[in-house]
Structure 1
Amino acid sequence: MKRGALDSFFKPTVPKKPKYETSEEKDEHPSYPFAIPHLSKSFMTQLNSAPAAEGKTMNSELDLDMVYYAPYIPSSVSNGMFEFLRQELFFQRVRYSIKRDGVSTEINTPRFTTVFGVDETSKFNTDGVLVDAKTTRKLEAGRYKCTPRPIPQCLGYLKALTEATTGETFNFCLVNYYADGQDSISYHSDDERFLGEKPAIASFTLGAKRDFLMKHKPIAPDLKGEVVPEPKQIKLALGSGDMVLMRGQTQAKWLHSVPKRAGDEAKKGRINITFRKAMVKGGTENYYQYNVGTGGVFKWSAREGKMVS
């Protein structure tokens, strides 16, 4: 064996160089377990060209109102954004209890999650202090059972671009990390009352391509008792940088899921970012309960190639 090969054999594995640039500026807040870097000027410059493709309106099916951008985030920066967010954000693997027919069941969320933001009744001032949205006075102790967290610059910049493109406004950012094809989310709809009527939700994919499935909720027979044909199911193979804007009756009438998948692509890991708008305090309590919970904090380890606590 050559000397060079022998040296490399005994050398410890060196983590791959991150595929992104970090800024020296960071967001710090008492609710953060550690500071979160800002996006670099290079990243922001590339993001400014979004959307990278014109949005495709999808409204031919009953009760469906969507716009699909493939992609929204330019390909030159989408993979770097994935690496940046996976490395720099903190996540939880949420556990919570639910009662069904009087029986308590422990739920282990099959993905890593994190959440930022607060509902329309409150806001963070320039000093990062939570205040009443109308009076701008500091909130009294106990207003929230949870501890709301301000949206960091790295996600707030993308939120502002999305708002400018869509004409919508958002106050919440939920981030899910799917470690591999075994991490998933079953059929559901984001139709909670605290989102108001006809909510708009912008959903981004970064990293691995994953199937996004949609199906209409069961339709009751019409007044004559005749069965109403159900719309066909929808399958989108969402790639890195793609964005789906769901609005109108979509959440009220449709279900969506990200099913388990096998294969090399799914093993790469996927980040899903959703921007939403919660109208009342109950939305804040809900999002922090089910996306933070009481579990420990996880952070990506490039050396181990996984989330570690």
Structure 2
Amino acid sequence: MSKRIQSFFQPIPKKPKVGTSSPDPSQPSDPLYIQQQHEQNQEEQQPPPTNHQTYPFPIPNLPPDLSKSLTTISTTLKAPKPITNHPHLDLLYFQPLLPPQTANALFHFLRNSLPFYKVQYTIHRGKTPTKITTPRFTTVFGVDATSIFTTDQEKTLHDAKTNTPIPPRTKYKHTPRPIPPCLTHLLQTIQTTTNTPPDYYNFILINYYATNTDSISYHSDDERFLGPNPSIASLSLGAKRDFLLKHKPGVEAGKPLKFPLASGDMVVMRGETQGNWLHSIPKRAGEGGGRINVTFRRALVPGGTENYYRYNVGDGGVWRWDEREGRMVSVDGEK
């Protein structure tokens, strides 16, 4: 470290004559040297990855530059556009929430850092069982309002009322996982920019759409475990995809609404929206890069925890982004 400091106080070299060799890369004026020093300083400042018994592998913390960018978002943020000009519709449209450079960095960080799952489950159409494979990668963190994770390093699961530990496999069939610090920082940014109480969102659900054929069909997040008139914030990162909304049957609301969500855009669905509208991310023609959708939501009772982990983690293997291959690969050797 002392040598590095001394290098900044070396005498300024004389201007080289034409035809002499390139500048010494050890000098601070050299771009390569400056970049190397920046990367080394980033590594020195980077907190160690977060480990927990429920994580399949340690999850990295946000790089300092990205963390700082998220902290200062509110200072330059434009007011969101309220959309309430249709029956029972109440949206806030941030276009964008995150500037392009921050959104791009966050997209690559989350895709590289989080465990993902390709969940399979069985539904029954009449008497015929049908096996469904979710047409996207998913992951989820959090627990419903009846439980909490301790704030110490162990992050032990406790009952919210009695503050007593919850033994494994007693209250929940699917083991809840604490929200890692990299997502907690993002959650705090969302809470600040949407004026949401700090204890409202207790779940973060993430979808990764690897290609344009990955999708999610029309549905509404109107389950009872969400409570009346729930608020759900949905942040888009990566490739632009259309977000469609249509009113549930029974009310004539015209053609579906279409929002071409770009990287950094966010839609907050609130009020009567979930109870009366359906939304989807349809397949689209052509090739396109990956897209990540981060949703912030609340579950009130254990049924919400079971639902989120059943359909977003499930019992299958873990997948992780491989930068060399440019795709998700199975940590467990699945195909």
* TM interval, short-chain normalised: 0.7 to 0.9
Q: Percent identity?
A: 54
Are positions 1:234 and 2:257 aligned together? Answer: yes
- C-alpha distance in 2, partners of 1:84/1:140? 33
CA separation in 1, counterparts of 2:160 and 2:121?
30
**What is the distance in 1 between the residues matched to 2:248 and 2:72?**
37
Q: Secondary structure at the match of 1:39?
A: coil
Shift of 1:181: 0.1
Match of 2:174 among 119, 124, 146: 146
**1:36 CA drift (Å):** 0.6
Deviation at 1:172, TM superposition (A): 0.2
Which has the larger Rg?
2
Matched, 1:128 2:151: no
Quote the offset at 1:261 in angstroms. 1.0
The residue type equivalent to 1:302 in the other structure is E
Do the aligned partners of 2:104 and 2:263 also contact (CA within 8 Å) in 1?
Answer: yes
CA displacement, residues 199-253 of structure 1 (integer Å, 9 cap, x when unaligned): 000001000000001100011xxxxxxxx53244210000001110000010000
Question: Pairwise mapping of residues 215-226 of structure 1 onto structure 2 (< 5 A)?
Answer: 215-219=246-250
Matches within 5 A, 1:223-262: 229-262=252-285
Task: Give SS of 1:261's match.
Answer: coil
* Aligned counterparts, 1:204-215, within 5 A: 204-215=235-246
Residues matched between the structures, number? 280
Determine the structure 2 residue equivalent to 1:114.
Answer: 139
Any conservation in 2 of the 1:27–1:35 contact (CA below 8 Å)?
Answer: yes
Distance 2:158 2:181 in 1: 19
What residue in structure 2 maps to residue 176 of structure 1? 207
Alpha-carbon shift at residue 73 of structure 1 (Å)? 1.4
Deviation of residue 262 (structure 1)? Answer: 2.1
1:203 paired residue number: 234
The equivalent of 1:39 in structure 2 is 62
Deviation per CA, 1:105-134, whole angstroms, max 9, x where unpaired? 100000000000000000100221000111
Task: State the structure with bigger RCO (CA 8 A, min sep 6), 1 or 2.
Answer: 1
Alpha-carbon shift at residue 143 of structure 1 (Å)? 0.9
Shift of 1:294: 1.1
CA contact (8 A) 1:49 1:74 kept: no
Q: What is the letter of the counterpart of residue 63 of structure 2?
A: S
Distance in 2, Cα, partners of 1:270 & 1:230: 29
Corresponding residue number in structure 2 for 1:5 = none
Q: 1:156 maps to what in 2?
A: 184
Q: For the residues of structure 2 that align with 1:229 and 1:202, how far apart are their CA atoms?
A: 26
User: 1:294 and 2:321 equivalent?
Assistant: no
Question: Is the 1:120–1:133 contact (alpha carbons within 8 Å) kept by the matching residues of 2?
Answer: yes
Structure 1 runs of 4+ aligned residues shifted over 3 Å read none
What secondary structure is seen at the aligned counterpart in 2 of 1:26?
coil
Q: Distance in 2 between matches of 1:140 and 1:303?
A: 41
Give the deviation of 1:167 after TM superposition: 2.7
Matches within 5 A, 1:53-64: 53-64=78-89
Quote how far apart the aligned CAs of 1:282 are. Answer: 0.2
Question: What TM-score comes out, normalization by structure 1 length?
Answer: 0.88
State the match for 1:83 in structure 2: 108
For 1:29 and 1:303, locate their aligned partners in 2 and report how far apart those are by CA, in whole Å. 27
Shifted more, 270-279 versus 39-48: the winner is 39-48
Aligned partner of 1:201: which letter?
Answer: I
Pairing 1:282–2:310 present: no
On the 8 A contact 2:86/2:253 being kept in 1, the answer is: no
Q: Which region of structure 1 is more displaced relative to structure 2, 284-293 or 153-162?
A: 153-162
Contact map agreement 1:189 1:255 (CA 8 A) in 2: yes
